[in-house]
Amino acid sequence: MTILVRDEEELIRANLDYHLSRGVDFIVATDNRSQDSTADILREYEKRGVLHYIFEPDDDYSQDQWVTRMARIAAEQYKADWIMHVDADEFWWPSDGRKIPKILESVDNSIDGLIVPRSNFVPIENYDDRSPFFTQLTVREKKSLNPLGRPLPPKVCHRGTSDIKVSQGNHSFGFENRAPRTEQCGNILIFHFQKRGFKQFQKRIQQGGAAYDRNQRLNKAVGDTWRELYELDRKGELQEYFTDSTYTDEEIKQGIVNESLVSDTRFMLYMTELYGQQQ
């Protein structure tokens, strides 16, 4: 697994523990200028021998280059059979109960990679930053959209190879000399917890939006969601946008009734049991 993070102390430990428990055997992590305890947490897992730590000092969000670098390290240095590219707020859920490697082992040898769908868990009023996110966010969208109201793009995983090139956003991949052969993944759903508390959301938009502004290499159409939300923040309108996107208890009940929302406590129960076992 690869993961690119910046100031993700709220999520990073849960993310690593969860995916290791689901069968991920090694993690290549890039820390992009974290100022909180993210680096210290990553170093803990490095000392355990399950993580390769990279510090990235640049501040232009060249995600495609940094994730491609991690993917090639995973393939060349650690001989990865399969590589999945994960964000800190994404948790890959095997819908049939198998470990993730078992699902990937069953993919036909002619397939280079899988297209994996995502599902947003909805933000709630009165979210408490002091409590674990997974105990509070237990309702997700039946059909997920990105923050600008467009269909939520999937993510990818692929076989380990040294000529891999991962796109910005981890939504697709390619090779040096040929097009990849992919298929839709029906056995994994990515649980996405992008919006939690407003302070976390605003900080992420400010960091990512400013970094995109500094990137002179990428087309301005790349990262349009980040850029538009960053513009809302500069106008002082991000709080209003965030508040409008949160759900009251009544709105959640209505959403479940009209089937636009789904109550899903599986992740909460899994994480509660995982940390109960670790204690």
Q: How large is the angle between the packed helices 238-245 and 224-234, nearest 10 degrees?
A: 120
SS3 state at 89: coil
- Above 60 in pLDDT, residue 120? yes
In whole angstroms, give the CA distance from residue 241 to residue 137.
19
> What are the contacts of 134-137 at 24+ separation with CB within 8 A?
134/14, 134/193, 134/267, 134/268, 134/271, 134/272, 135/268, 135/272, 137/193, 137/196
- For the chain, what percent of residues have pLDDT higher than 70? 99
pLDDT at 217: 82
- Above 90 in pLDDT, residue 215? no
When the pLDDT of each residue in the chain is averaged and rounded to a whole number, the result is 95
- Above 60 in pLDDT, residue 129? yes
At residue 279 the predicted structure's pLDDT band, cuts being 50, 70 and 90, is low
- For the chain, what percent of residues have pLDDT higher than 90? 88
Residue type (1 letter), 225: T
Q: Are 25 and 99 in contact (CB under 8 A)?
A: no
Going from N- to C-terminal start, the domains of the chain cover 2-278
In whole angstroms, give the CA distance from residue 178 to residue 211.
31
pLDDT at 176: 85
- pTM, full prediction: 0.95
The CA-CA-CA angle for residues 136, 137, 138, to 5°, reads 110
The two three-digit tokens of residue 153, written as one number: 């793009």
pLDDT at 147: 81
**Architecture field, domain 2-278:** Alpha-Beta Complex (3.90)
